[in-house]
Amino acid sequence: MRFAIDAHAIGQHLTGNEVYVRNLVRWFDRLDSDSEFIAYISAPRARRWVPDRFRQRLVSRNPWIRLAADLPRRLATDRPDLVHVQYTAPPLCPVPLVVTVHDVSFIEHPEFFPQLRALQLRYSVRQTVHRAAYVLTPSEFSRRAVIRAFGLPEERVITVYNAAGPEFHPLSYENARSQVRQLYGIDQPFVLTVGDLQPRKNQEGLIRAFEALVRHYPQLPHHLVLVGKLGWRGEKVIQAARRSLAAERIHYLGYVPDHDLTTLYAACDVFVFPSFYEGFGLPVLEAMACGRPVACSRVTAIPEVADAAAVFFDPSSTEDVVRALRDLLMDGELRARMERLGLKRAAMFSWEKSACQTLAIYYRTAEQQRARPSATVKSLSVWR
């Protein structure tokens, strides 16, 4: 078999999308030595994350050029048994298609997107999922949302969970604190949040809650550390932090690489995830895998991921966020229990398992297509 993966996200700091494809290709290499793999990448630096035996093809970083020209030409030349994309496939795709749709927030909450971006995703994702042999989603929440949004048959939409990568694991708290002090100059205990700065992630709400926490519990010495690249309207988060009465306690570190992120997880006293909408919520599992207690929103897919291993809150309620943070920061027994439960919960998810399930979908798709050889020949002949 010959399988192609749109891996343009690798090396682009595209957070969840990049983490997803990077871990899949790593495990495909270990699990399937018989098949041939092709990775379409958009940056030379991506090569370090793609296994040596994979054929690598450069495609444009510009999404319009990549989807309209580069990928169709590459696929017509390489003639794989299928191509796997995230969200959007080329409008003219000469091979069978598998697509991963992590969430449909652009449909259910378009206010979290620039208007044109939400409209574009509505159109392009709808076209893609209706042409795909199978649609993969990272949670049952997203699976139901995809079926509801696009009217797809249930058997064509399959849940394949994400996981925390092996780079996320417990470290010595004191050593991690020392490294954070050296790297970022943060010498105080801190609460950590991770996610692109954008309205959906609700960092502004977290800043308000942190300010209230400091005001009501002045004995707490903690600071707030925000990690993530600047996204749409992210400057509003920066402005909110600067205007806050607790501004001297709030630190924005921007995008950080996985190694430093593991250190930050290990050094925090509590990890907080206040997002309004998630198709999975990978930072929750990453923090748990590092042995840190988690407070997170009780909305969308997040409870499905965290289960009973986190303290939940209503992300729209400042008082509820304050209550969750207070309980974890001031109750050592609760904190220790959440750490134990979190480690067990994170261990239940595995990129190896996810890659196995994804490969099974690849083989099923290829076998179904080979049962219709005339359709394959006709599709490919257009692009010769």
Secondary structure (3-state) at 312:
strand
Q: Residue 375 — pLDDT band, cuts 50, 70, 90?
A: very low
Average pLDDT, the chain: 95
Is there a single domain that holds both residue 107 and residue 143?
yes
pLDDT higher than threshold 50 for residue 379: no
Q: How many Å separate Cα 248 from the centre of its chain?
A: 30
Is there a single domain that holds both residue 140 and residue 266?
no
Question: What pLDDT does 373 receive?
Answer: 56
Q: Does residue 112 lie within any of the structural domains?
A: yes
Question: What pLDDT does 380 receive?
Answer: 34
Is there a single domain that holds both residue 300 and residue 337?
yes
What is the arithmetic mean of pLDDT over 45-66?
Answer: 96
Question: What pLDDT does 15 receive?
Answer: 82
Question: What pLDDT does 258 receive?
Answer: 85
CA atoms within 13 A on the CB side of 272: 30
Report the relative pairing of strands 2-6 and 36-41 from DSSP bridges.
Answer: parallel
pLDDT tens column, 260-294: 999 999 999 999 999 999 999 999 999 999 999 99
Extract the tokens encoding 78. 């390489």
H/E stretch holding 237 reads helix 234-243
Q: Which CATH number goes with the domain that contains 296?
A: 3.40.50.2000
Total domain count, the chain: 2
Is there a single domain that holds both residue 285 and residue 327?
yes
Is there a single domain that holds both residue 225 and residue 343?
yes
Domain around 129: 2-163+350-374
What is the arithmetic mean of pLDDT over 22-44?
Answer: 97
pLDDT higher than threshold 60 for residue 377: no
Question: What pLDDT does 378 receive?
Answer: 39
Sheet of 157-159, strands arranged across: 55-58, 36-41, 2-6, 82-86, 97-100, 134-137, 157-159
What is the distance between the alpha carbons of residues 366 and 151, in angstroms, rounded to a whole number?
Answer: 24
- Contact of 189 with 176, CB cutoff 8 Å: no
Q: Does residue 379 lie within any of the structural domains?
A: no
Question: What pLDDT does 383 receive?
Answer: 31
The proportion of the chain whose per-residue pLDDT surpasses 90, expressed as a percent, equals 93
Is there a single domain that holds both residue 201 and residue 277?
yes
Give the long-range contacts of residues 60-66, CB within 8 A, separation 24 or more.
Answer: 61/8, 61/12, 63/88, 66/8, 66/42
Is there a single domain that holds both residue 177 and residue 44?
no
- Give pTM, 2 decimals: 0.94
pLDDT tens column, 104-155: 999 999 999 999 999 999 999 999 999 999 999 999 999 999 999 999 999 9
Q: Does residue 209 lie within any of the structural domains?
A: yes
pLDDT higher than threshold 60 for residue 381: no
Is there a single domain that holds both residue 14 and residue 126?
yes
- Contact of 1 with 366, CB cutoff 8 Å: yes
- Contact of 254 with 231, CB cutoff 8 Å: no
Q: Does residue 214 lie within any of the structural domains?
A: yes
Is there a single domain that holds both residue 199 and residue 65?
no
Question: b vs e for 137-170, b when ≥16 Cβ sit within 10 Å of the residue's Cβ?
Answer: bbbebbbebbbebbebeeeebbbbbbbbbeebbe
Q: Residue 27 — pLDDT band, cuts 50, 70, 90?
A: very high
Q: Does residue 25 lie within any of the structural domains?
A: yes
Q: Does residue 224 lie within any of the structural domains?
A: yes
Is there a single domain that holds both residue 216 and residue 250?
yes
Q: Does residue 383 lie within any of the structural domains?
A: no
What is the distance between the alpha carbons of residues 271 and 225, in angstroms, rounded to a whole number?
Answer: 10
C-alpha closest to that of 101 among 54, 140, 138, 130: 138
Q: Does residue 334 lie within any of the structural domains?
A: yes
Is there a single domain that holds both residue 268 and residue 341?
yes
Q: Residue 160 — pLDDT band, cuts 50, 70, 90?
A: very high
- Contact of 57 with 74, CB cutoff 8 Å: yes
Is there a single domain that holds both residue 105 and residue 210?
no
